[in-house]
Amino acid sequence: MRLEGKVALITGGAGGIGRETALAFAAEGAGILVVDVNSEAGGETVSLVKEAGGEALYQDADVSKASDCEAMVAAAEENFGRLDILFNNAGIMHSEDGDAMATEEEIWDLTMNINLKGVFLGCKYGIPAILRAGGGSVINTASFVAVLGAATPQLAYTASKGGVLAMTRELAVIHAREGIRVNALCPGPLKTKMLMDFLDTEEKKQRRLVHVPMGRFGEAKEMAQAALYLASEDSSYVTGTTFMVDGGITSAYVTPE
C-alpha cells in the first residue's frame, strides 16, 4: 500500500474532494484526521472510512482561525503520533462573489480568510509537524481559475486560488531540501455541491462546460486519485507544481465541436 504507516490531515473532509480523498488515502494504509466545520458530515466521512476498514478521527476546525489550525495539527500528532501528509483542501465559493463592482468587501474578506489564509495557517502549524516526522507531502487545493480567467465572474475565489499557487511555489522552494514536497492540486470544473450551487442555472453550467474539451464536469473521486499521487512516493521528484486535473480546459483555445 502506497501510504502504509502514514498519517494524513485533510481539511474540508466532510464532503466532495475531501471525503473522497480520505477514502482513497485510507485504502492505501494512511490514518486520517478529517477536519471540517460540519461535524455531522465530517463524522459521516469517518464512518465511511471505518466501514471500509480504515482508521480515521474527526476534528472540528475553522481554518481561518490560527488556534483551530494549531489544534488540528496537535490532534493529529496526539492521536496518531505523527503527521506525514497535509491536504489543505477546505475552501468556499460564495454565491455573492462576482466582479470587482458587485463583490462586497465582506465577501472578499471571507473568501480570502478561508481559501488563502486557511492554507497559510495549515502550513504554519502543519509543516513543523511534518518536519518532526522526517518529511512528507503538502497538497494545497487551488483551481484552474488560478491561471485562467473564469467565464462566470468569481473574483475573490479566483484571486484567492492564485494566491495559493504563489504560496505553494515559494514553500516548495523553501522546504525542498528538508524532505517536504509542496504541490498545488488544480481541479477543473467538478460536479460537486460547491460548484453546482454556484452554477445554479443550466445557462451557467453550459457556459462553463462548453470550454471543457472532455465535455463533462470532473468527479471528486478523480481529484482524490490525483491527490493520492501527490501524497505518495510515486511523486517523489515532484514539488512546486501547478498540477492541473481539468479535463483539458486550460489547454483549450477554442470551443471544441
3-state secondary structure of 163: helix
Do 46 and 23 meet the contact criterion of CB atoms below 8 Å apart?
no
Give the integer Cα–Cα distance in Å for 19 and 227. 12
Give the integer Cα–Cα distance in Å for 80 and 64. 24
| From 157, 229, 237, 253, the catalytic residue | 157
Does the annotation count 58 as an active-site position? no
Q: How many CB atoms lie within 10 A of CB 55?
A: 16
Give the integer Cα–Cα distance in Å for 239 and 193. 30
Give the integer Cα–Cα distance in Å for 108 and 98. 10
- Give me the active site residues, please: 157
